[in-house]
């Protein structure tokens, strides 16, 4: 079964990435801080879109008790997420630390747009930690129970 990141989440990632790319061109401390964030964030987003977020595509079907045997294909992703979770959370700590520096630079250089972007990215990381990652892991565990895997 081919799973993709839910469109709303993909659009959010793409929008945040575009805003961050713009911030890297802001110059000064803000541009430098945004470049550090981008360097940390890009490979993290790639991993999320590879195995952490696609399982969420099944949430609607599972909430309607629609379970198909081919949904077992997602288990490789959810197992990988469980194994990688400590690393993913450690990456979030590094990303959030870099975002805090971006906020400091944006406040100092009076660039509120970049400060708001950094705050949105911090909130995005917290949402993943508190909602997206646990939901993806639970999808895997639920399917294992339902499919007898």
What tens digit of pLDDT does each residue of 88-144 get? 999 999 999 999 999 999 999 999 999 999 999 999 999 999 999 999 999 999 999
**Under 8 Å CB-to-CB from 116, ≥6 apart: which residues?**
none
Task: Work out the percent of the chain whose per-residue pLDDT is above 90.
Answer: 97
- The pLDDT of residue 42 is 94
Coil, strand or helix at 127: helix
The overall pTM is greater than 0.85: yes
Residues 62-68: contacts with CB under 8 Å, at least 24 apart:
62/139, 62/142, 62/143, 67/143, 67/146, 67/147, 68/1
Count of positions (residues) in the chain: 149
Average pLDDT over residues 26-51: 96
| 37 closest CA partner among 109, 107, 91 | 91
Q: Domain segments of the chain: what residues?
A: 7-144
Retrieve residue 115's tokens. Answer: 């400060």
Positive/negative CA dihedral, 136, 142, 147, 149? positive
Confidence of residue 149 (pLDDT cuts 50, 70, 90): confident
Q: What mean pLDDT value characterizes the chain?
A: 96
């Amino acid at each position: 079964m081919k799973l993709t990141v839910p469109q709303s989440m993909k659009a959010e990632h793409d929008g945040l990435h575009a805003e961050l790319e713009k911030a890297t061109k802001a110059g000064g401390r803000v541009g430098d801080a945004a470049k550090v964030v981008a360097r940390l964030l890009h490979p993290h987003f790639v991993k999320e879109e590879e195995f952490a977020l696609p399982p969420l595509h099944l949430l609607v079907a599972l909430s309607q008790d629609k379970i198909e045997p081919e949904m077992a294909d997602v288990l490789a992703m959810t197992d990988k997420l469980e194994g990688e979770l400590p690393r993913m959370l450690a990456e979030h700590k590094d990303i959030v630390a870099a975002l805090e520096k971006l906020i400091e630079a944006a406040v100092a250089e009076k660039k509120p747009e970049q400060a708001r972007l950094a705050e949105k990215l911090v909130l995005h990381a917290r949402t993943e930690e508190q909602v997206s990652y646990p939901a993806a892991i639970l999808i895997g565990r639920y399917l294992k129970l339902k499919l007898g895997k």
